[in-house]
Structure 1
Amino acid sequence: MDRFTLTVLLCVFNGVASVTMMMGNKKLALVFPFPFTTILLQNAVCFLICALLIRIQDGQSLYKKLRSMRWAHFRSCLAVGVATSLVLSTSIVALRFASVPLVVAFRNLTPIVVALLDSLVLGATFHNSAKLGLVCGLGGSLLYTVFDPPTAAHAVQNTTTGDYENKALVTSSNNTTKTTTAEQAANTSTSTLTATNSVLFQANFGLFFVIANLLLSALVNILESTTMRKLAAEQSASTVNCIRITVMQPMLLALSTVFEDQQHALHLLRADGIAVLDRVQGTMNSGSTTMGPAGEITSTAPMLFILPLFLLTGAFAALFGVSALALSGLRVSPTTLAFLNVVYKLATTVVGHFLFPANVPMLSWCGYALTFCGFLFYALGRPKKDGEKKIEKILDKKRN
């Protein structure tokens, strides 16, 4: 398979995985209000799938693969894992006490920051059409963020009482999970992050976490690109992804322990496991299994299974992570990958409007169209240099 065809296929897989994963996370967020635990369990599924891919691709176990890895390569993979952990952590923490439109707007700035780092670190050059595409994409994403902001039910809220049981998990247009208190959500868009009756952060630190998340997101794009360009000849994307997940798990476990009710989460998983077994055995009633106020299992509306959703989103998370790293290994620009992520979020938002019908302002649709046009301008405005074409021909010969 030639390089161009492989790149196109990986982009398609990456986009499908991204949209499906985020839509699955929307469903999952409605029934399992524990974002750190959610990522923790999805990573476990992702790790198993990547380990299986390593066995299929390389014909050896992950353990043997890691033992044969050079320390310099392993260190680069560790850096990617640490940076990714910080991105996830700052994103979820910021969404607990910062304005949702503010977080979305700053996250949409990621391609611009990545482009600057791409030029400084990797020496990338951008033609005027590509620059116009980045500006149009940024303008369009800001347009639909401003004129189609998250509703009151989507506003990030938290209370200072440490009472997590009365909060519902929701998602906004950028498909990132967060907690909300229904009574307060309509009146304010900032909150104070708490953990078990103790205030850890003040609301005025919200902007700090939003900016930190923006810079870390851009840094991850550059680290993934430099790491895979250096390791692609010896290490597969599945191996790098496994190391990244392993590094992320301890931090996610610590954050879930501090900020989430682990006992309640385990009760929900246990109840859902019982419901799944009942369905398999054909003995499940029409009602669903949920937790009562004292921890007892009660029956309510038809169940949306949690465990199958974890398996589904975990599988697509593996596909997304491996395909993104593989694209970096094919020397796809980190700016391109960052811009693709904005387009994927746009596609997810549009799909979400059709699956969950809602009134969309005309200016929001204009923002969607402008973002898509910006991507086309960017894609058509980056002709390869002669040197880049020669490198690609050499890589194609090695693969064939």
Structure 2
Amino acid sequence: MEKKENSIPEALITAELSTTFPQNGGYVTWISSAFGPFWGFQQGFWKWFSGVMDNALYPVLFLDYLKHSFPIFNHLAARQFPLMLSLLPFLVMGIISIPRLKPRQWLVVDFEKVDWRGYFNSMFWNMNYWHKASTLAGEVENPSKTFPKALRGAVILVVLSYLIPLLAGTGSLRSSHSEWIDGYFAEVGMLIGGFWLKWWVQAAAAMSNLGLFEAEMSGDAFQLLGMSEMGMLPVIFGSSFQEILEFLNFLYSIGMLLEFAAFIKLRIKNPDLHRPYGVPLQTFGATMLCLPPALLLVLVMCLASAKTFIMSGIVIIVGILMYPVLVHAKNRKWTHFADTEHRVLPLDNPDVAIPSLEVSDEASACLLPVLNQEVSQTLPDEALKLE
């Protein structure tokens, strides 16, 4: 029941305000429009910080579900099957391509068209980050023997998983270098072996990326844990699952209360604002809609521990101090900021209504800055000033 009290109003408000302000800023856009950029920045900072901390929870959840739902993966042999399934398609690709290989194509390079910056950065990114495994050394049994063996085998497999399909693709196909973009290995698989190999490569790539994401999140989480245990970071970074969850919920509750307030203020100050979708309630009804979840959020905050209050207070203070620093950096032009005329404007003037900028698909998002500029030309200059 508590979930419904919070989820339904939140979903309805999100539907109304997302269609009213179809921009990537999301709730930051809503808060900035209702209360100005200062509070919009605070909302964005709180949500960003809680999102970063939230990432530490998902590796634990994923592995717990996997362990309980598929206990077979507790056995080493069972864990080898997904590994082989994700590596074999590239070996198969190499074998099938042998009759079509033309080794001289490996040596054909137009050095004038090589993007050396992109080449070396891509190669570096794909072949590094082995040190990430060290952050989980405390979780490994007998690391003095396990780590050397694991890293030796992993390096060999990774090098071969890149080298074999690259040699197969470049040696058997006449594809232009410009075609070798993200995801092109699937096309190479289709051209060499057919659709079945393409789908296999895609499935293997999906499994690989899932594993990379899990490894990255786990490595980052254990890195923070280790630094906390060494006294380099506050003890909150070594908190348990429940402690992190409580801290995240506290910041989330503050942000949601601000979103509810923005929703109501926009209804009062700008009743004529074009809303492609509107919650089917008048202002009073909309206020009553927000009341039960707001009370629930306040209750969650009141039940928080003193540790959560202190850490949340520190995050809030940091956000408050960061805003004037960034404004000063912007005014002094210490770094580049986007043009303010392209941002969502504060709606302090009830006579000013911003027409909706509807986006039919993802590609249309690139038109938003142009549309915003056209809209801004119809508004008073005062509305463009930073509050």
Q: TM-score range by the shorter chain?
A: under 0.3
Relative to the length of structure 2, the TM-score reads 0.25
Relative to the length of structure 1, the TM-score reads 0.24
Q: Greater helix percent: which structure? A: 2
* Structure number with bigger Rg: 2
